[in-house]
A and B are shown apart, each in its own frame.
Chain A
Amino acid sequence: MAIVIDKSQRWRLLAAHAFLILLCALVIFPLVMVVSISLRPGNFATGTLIPETISLEHWRFALGIPSPGPDGQMIKPDLPVLLWLWNSVKVATISATLALFLSTTAAYAFARMKFVGKKAALLGLMLMQMFPTVLALIAIHAIFSRIGHVFPLFGVDSHWALVLAYSGGIALHIWTIKGFYETIPAEIEEAATVDGATPWQAFWRVLLPMALPILMVIFLLAFIGAIIEYPQASILLRSQDKLTLAAGMKQFLYPQKYLWGDFAAAAILSGLPISIVFILAQRWMISGLTSGANKG
């Protein structure tokens, strides 16, 4: 639909394209640069955007493949990127599953039941997520180191500590799922109850299957959230082989040990899958959130 048609339109279109192309270039510059750096030989090499000599040494490093050192001996890379990626995926899968369980049940009570303190609890959840956990890092560290005195499995430097620490951050999930449950007519569960289903069966067998799209969305949100979480992971994990990607990646860029090329390869290796999952999830989330459960 043409609203404003005048002669300057063509020039304005051109200017808009120029501006957008410039911005896209600025956005893409760092990303292209990283690809280029990951293929250059050496960690301090400078060069053109398209490297003259392509070297796969950084990719070997990132993938943990031993490569010959200066004296000809095979050296295994000392930063286990793939192990960190695996740790991240492990922690994120467990904590997203846990978050899903904790938030679907709580949201069911908020959406369908009457109980004392409902309004206050909902408001409390809203307030809770306004205070970032970064501010409680000292207490989180203190709590888990004290837990570790009694239960070493859940103490500092264990993945379970991280899973527990993440399990509390479900306020937003509860609100989202509650909103979705409320779009599903309660009559369907009531019918099931009339047929003799217990409230738990009505929830587990009737409501949850209908809420599947939102459950997937919440799982992905919690999964990505746990993958990219940095502050808690960096204080709760210590030893090299326990770190998650988010907590470990900075080790590539210490001033005394500057592994720029290796970092570039590791960044692509770990960042690409996460970004793709995120973009797909984003598109799918919008369709998942908008397609109501009662469409059939």
Chain B
Amino acid sequence: MPMPQALKRFLHPVLMILLGLVGLYVVTLVYATGESLLALVMLVTLACFIWIYTSSKTYAYRYLFPGIGAALIFVVFPMLYTVRIGFTNYSSKNLLTFNRATQYLLEETYRAEGATYNSTLHPEGTRWRLRLEDADTGAVFATDPIVLGPDKPQTLKATAIAEPLKGEEMPMRDLIAHQTFLKGLTVLMPDGGQIRMTGLREFAPSRMQYTQNQDGSLTNHQDKSLLRPNLKTGFYETPGGEAVDPGFQTDIGWQHYIDVFTDASIREPFVRIFVWTVTFAALSVFFTLTLGMVLAVILSWDALRFRSVYRLLLFLPYAIPGFISILVFKGLFNNNLGEINIVLGALFGIKPAWFSDPFLAKAMILIVNTWLGFPYMMVICMGLIKAIPLDLYEASAVAGAGPITNFFKITLPLIIKPLTPLLISSFAFNFNNFVLINLLTGGRPDILNTSIPAGTTDLLATYTYRIAFEDSGQKFGLAAAISTVIFLMVAVISMIQIRATKITSDDKR
């Protein structure tokens, strides 16, 4: 529907201003929750958005903004953030930010001295009254009728009552449902004491355990001691140097890197895993390439019949989702119940322990990865072989050369150059072949005597995953530091790949 030009010209800036205001409001809300980094990212995104969609100079960027923005925020930023985490002690022990850890401590309460009250809730219309009975003296108090909700802290006053409350008391089930609301209540007693919920049917005096002082230290009201944040360890500490949970994230500089390269209990598994990662990636490329190329050569043979049938069948492993075929192999290779061992047992009377012997586990991984990867190489090689001029083979036939000579003197030399960048990218892919290892062996069997669990079949990528998400401790910081090291290795591989690509494209000219 055509819109009057004047209206259109007017609508655009109004919309932008509105969007900007709403955006700023949301950013403020986010900032208020203490997530300043998130608020900053949102603010920058909002500013870019407003600028790009109002300035006439940035027309091209209007098309780029959504896509490039998403790529920057959800791909590039996480990588930079990984590097950042590598310099912190972020782990399950030091999970919270400093502000949140402080907040957590400031919300802690302790049971103070004073009378305990048995509490019940009684209805009055749609509202409820909280009845409090002193457990020792039997004196009865009650609050004014209140609405149960929302779940926000509030203070009520209780007064002594003479008449008993009429309504039936609230059953346990409903009490549990309203627990969050009830826990937020503070009741002022006539004697000036403050009581809070300490059990489902009990109120008692409880006080805030800590208050914050000007210099950032916390005073513990229970034993009058002073807690100070230690920014080196990421904990609040008592004067005696004892750490108080929860810990918070703090910068520890290069400590993780120093550990990885000097602490023998981390360095040795790291080096072993690195060696296996390179071996695995290289052997995977070699096996898939060899099998794929042999098949490509055979399937390019004109005299062979049923080629399309073979091609379709041999392409199958590539079409099946990896997470399914890898798990199928995990079951088939199972030491006791797997079909492969049943066949091997029937034929040769052997029962290899594919999952507990490190060497056999590695062999299994390479077998599975070859199964998964050769179709790709086959398809690529077939395409390249197609491009070789036929008269080369005719000439060699005239010279009396056989198929083996043809392969090594004509086919291989001609396809290896355009193949090189693809081989490097295949190497890079297998270098970080997380899915295969994580689903097939999970890195196990483990290396003995390591401070952090490490597996004989772990790749660097799965090793960091285990440090971060699987084994106890969730050492995100250390894992991120190792990830950063892997980033550098991948960068080196990528540089080699870019050079190789350049060389091949220069040759073509």
Residues of A within 8 A of B (CB): 1-4, 9, 12-13, 16-17, 19-20, 23-24, 26-28, 30-31, 33-34, 37, 44, 46, 101-103, 105-110, 113-115, 121, 125, 127-128, 130-143, 146-147, 149-150, 164-165, 167-171, 174, 199, 203, 227-228, 230-231, 235, 245-246, 249-250, 252-253, 258, 260, 263-264, 267, 270-271, 274-275, 278-279, 282
Is there contact, CB below 8 Å, between B476 and A142? yes
Bound: A3/B75 CA distance, A = 52
| A245 and B487 in contact, given A121-B68, A139-B480, A170-B71 (Cβ under 8 angstroms) | no
What is the minimal beta-carbon distance from A99 to any residue of chain B, in angstroms?
9
Bound: A128/B403 CA distance, A = 42
| A231 and B328 in contact, given A131-B490, A137-B468, A171-B71 (Cβ under 8 angstroms) | no
Is there contact, CB below 8 Å, between A258 and B337? yes
Is there contact, CB below 8 Å, between A24 and B314? yes
Chain A residue at minimum C-beta to C-beta distance from B490: A131
Bound: A143/B76 CA distance, A = 13
Which of B71, B301, B465 contacts A168 (CB under 8 A)? B71
Is there contact, CB below 8 Å, between A27 and B432? no
Chain B residue at minimum C-beta to C-beta distance from A245: B323
| A135 and B66 in contact, given A171-B71, A249-B324 (Cβ under 8 angstroms) | no
Determine the chain B residues whose CB is within 8 A of the CB of A235 once the complex forms: 469
Determine the chain A residues whose CB is within 8 A of the CB of B328 once the complex forms: 30, 33-34, 264, 267
CB-based closest 8 A-B pairs: A168-B74, A106-B67, A109-B63, A139-B81, A102-B67, A168-B75, A115-B60, A136-B78
Chain A residue at minimum C-beta to C-beta distance from B294: A19
Is there contact, CB below 8 Å, between B486 and A135? yes
| A30 and B483 in contact, given A130-B494, A167-B74 (Cβ under 8 angstroms) | no
Is B317's CB within 8 Å of the partner chain A?
A: yes
Contact with A along B277-310 (1 / 0, CB 8 A): 0000000000000000001001101111010001
Bound: A30/B490 CA distance, A = 34
Which of A20, A165, A275 contacts B319 (CB under 8 A)? A275
Is there contact, CB below 8 Å, between B480 and A138? yes
Determine the chain A residues whose CB is within 8 A of the CB of B73 once the complex forms: 168
Is B146's CB within 8 Å of the partner chain A?
A: no
Determine the chain A residues whose CB is within 8 A of the CB of B394 once the complex forms: 3
What is the minimal beta-carbon distance from B448 to any residue of chain A, in angstroms?
20
Is there contact, CB below 8 Å, between A132 and B464? no
What is the minimal beta-carbon distance from A198 to any residue of chain B, in angstroms?
10
Is there contact, CB below 8 Å, between B321 and A105? no
Chain A residue at minimum C-beta to C-beta distance from B299: A20
Partner-contacting stretch, out of B29-37, B119-127, B227-235, B262-270: B29-37
Q: Count chain B residues whose beta carbon lies closer than 8 angstroms to a beta carbon of A.
A: 91
What is the minimal beta-carbon distance from A121 to any residue of chain B, in angstroms?
7
Determine the chain B residues whose CB is within 8 A of the CB of A167 once the complex forms: 70, 74
A/B interface sample: 23 pairs, CB < 8 A: A1-B390, A3-B397, A24-B310, A24-B314, A30-B325, A33-B328, A105-B67, A109-B63, A113-B63, A130-B497, A131-B487, A132-B434, A135-B490, A136-B81, A138-B85, A138-B480, A139-B85, A139-B480, A150-B33, A253-B330, A263-B331, A271-B325, A275-B321
Is B316's CB within 8 Å of the partner chain A?
A: yes
Is there contact, CB below 8 Å, between B71 and A27? no
| A128 and B75 in contact, given A134-B434, A150-B30, A249-B324 (Cβ under 8 angstroms) | yes
Contact with A along B332-355 (1 / 0, CB 8 A): 101001010010000000000000
Is there contact, CB below 8 Å, between A114 and B60? yes
Which of B64, B67, B301, B327 contacts A252 (CB under 8 A)? B327
Which of A19, A23, A227, A250 contacts B327 (CB under 8 A)? A250
What is the minimal beta-carbon distance from B277 to any residue of chain A, in angstroms?
13
Bound: A211/B444 CA distance, A = 48
Is there contact, CB below 8 Å, between A106 and B64? yes
| A16 and B63 in contact, given A34-B328, A246-B321, A250-B439 (Cβ under 8 angstroms) | no
List CB contacts (< 8 Å) of B82-97 with chain A. 82, 84-85, 90
Is there contact, CB below 8 Å, between B66 and A102? yes
Is there contact, CB below 8 Å, between A20 and B298? yes
Chain B residue at minimum C-beta to C-beta distance from A106: B67
Bound: A109/B68 CA distance, A = 11
Is there contact, CB below 8 Å, between B79 and A131? yes
What is the minimal beta-carbon distance from B270 to any residue of chain A, in angstroms?
15
Is there contact, CB below 8 Å, between B403 and A4? yes
Is B218's CB within 8 Å of the partner chain A?
A: no
Bound: A258/B82 CA distance, A = 36
Is B479's CB within 8 Å of the partner chain A?
A: yes
What is the minimal beta-carbon distance from B440 to any residue of chain A, in angstroms?
10
Determine the chain A residues whose CB is within 8 A of the CB of B331 once the complex forms: 37, 253, 260, 263-264
Which of B323, B325, B425 contacts A246 (CB under 8 A)? B323
Q: A24-B310, A137-B464, A150-B38 are in contact. List 7 more A-B contacts (CB 8 A).
A: A24-B314, A31-B320, A103-B67, A130-B428, A134-B432, A136-B79, A137-B469
What is the minimal beta-carbon distance from A189 to any residue of chain B, in angstroms?
13
What is the minimal beta-carbon distance from A46 to any residue of chain B, in angstroms?
6
Determine the chain B residues whose CB is within 8 A of the CB of A28 once the complex forms: 313, 316
Contact with A along B434-472 (1 / 0, CB 8 A): 110011000000000000000000000100110011000
Determine the chain A residues whose CB is within 8 A of the CB of B321 once the complex forms: 227-228, 246, 271, 274-275, 278
Is there contact, CB below 8 Å, between A136 and B310? no
Determine the chain B residues whose CB is within 8 A of the CB of A270 once the complex forms: 324
Determine the chain B residues whose CB is within 8 A of the CB of A250 once the complex forms: 323, 327, 439
B303, B310, B315: which has the most chain A beta carbons within 10 Å? B303
Determine the chain B residues whose CB is within 8 A of the CB of A133 once the complex forms: 75, 78
